[in-house]
Amino acid sequence: MTTTMTTSDRAALRRAKKMLDTPGLAARLTGAMSIPVAKGLALVPAPCLRLVGRITQAAVQRALAAAAKTLRTRHRQPAASGRHTLAVVLGGAVSGAFGLPALALELPLSTTVMLRSIAAIARSEGHDPRDPRVRLECVQVFALGGPAPPTAAAETGYFAVRAALARSVAEAARHMARQTVGTQGAPALVRFITQVTARFGLVVSDKVVAQAIPLIGAVGGGFVNFLFIRQFQRTARGHFIIRRLEARYGEAEVQREYERGG
């Protein structure tokens, strides 16, 4: 294993760090559309938030099941993100036009399309989407791109979130390597999905609040979803650059360079 990072790899690490330090969806919505998401979230009835939580968990479960059925080749090639972005934007336009009732249909579809985009990014960085561990790390991007839930306030940095998820990712990967597709109810996978949903659900709540604002409509819903997918595409690119560098230099060395600013 190489221990001295090349100039080009240091530049890639700096680029990855910049992507992973991108402000969250709520901040980007506030800056781009002057939407007070935090205030709006406080006005959403608790039953609605619980419903969003259930829809989000179902969406992650469906996306994980779909991960085993897509990108069956490991051949490295550029990720064509444009069509995935367009599909999610169109879904946001429909959801923005019809409001919360459309979320139960739109979110699972958008999440699955985003996972497909994330997996394409992983493949473009040299990772094999057929590997159960890589498929789980694609789903893990939904947690890496989300804020910490109130019960895990200390887990805010990229490597801190990865450490918090490391055990459940490893257990779920071992289970997926032994089992066939269709075992989504296994305890190891349930724990993993629950952890991912805890963070991803907060981003989804920001999205729902923004789309629920009067007059935002289909155009605004499409723009919200554009920011939504771009956030996770950037997170995926940063994450899989780092995983590629870790395979070459080791996790400890890459983390030290990351914390020094690349």
Model confidence over 31-87: pLDDT tens digits? Answer: 665 566 666 666 667 777 788 889 999 999 888 887 656 655 555 656 667 778 888
2 located within any domain: no
| Host domain of residue 242 | 7-259
Res. 174: pLDDT tops 80: yes
39 located within any domain: yes
236 located within any domain: yes
Using CA atoms, how far residue 96 sits from 164, 205, 225, in Å, is 34, 14, 9
- Report yes or no: 121 and 240 within 8 Å, Cβ to Cβ: yes
146 located within any domain: yes
Lowest mean pLDDT of 36-40, 122-126, 138-142, name the range. Answer: 36-40
1 located within any domain: no
Residue 127 CA to residue 247 CA, distance in Å, equals 10
User: Which range in 75-84, 170-179, 196-205 is most confidently predicted, on average pLDDT?
Assistant: 196-205
18 located within any domain: yes
150 located within any domain: yes
Confidence label for 122 from pLDDT (cuts 50, 70 and 90): very high
Res. 228: pLDDT tops 80: yes
78 located within any domain: yes
Res. 213: pLDDT tops 70: no
Res. 154: pLDDT tops 70: no
pLDDT at 75: 57
Q: Residue 129's closest CA among 170, 79, 68, 218? A: 68
Run of H or E residues at 107: helix 103-124
What domain count does the chain have?
1
User: Which range in 116-120, 146-150, 155-159 is most confidently predicted, on average pLDDT?
Assistant: 116-120
* Residue found by looking up tokens 């969406």 in the block: 59
pLDDT at 204: 85
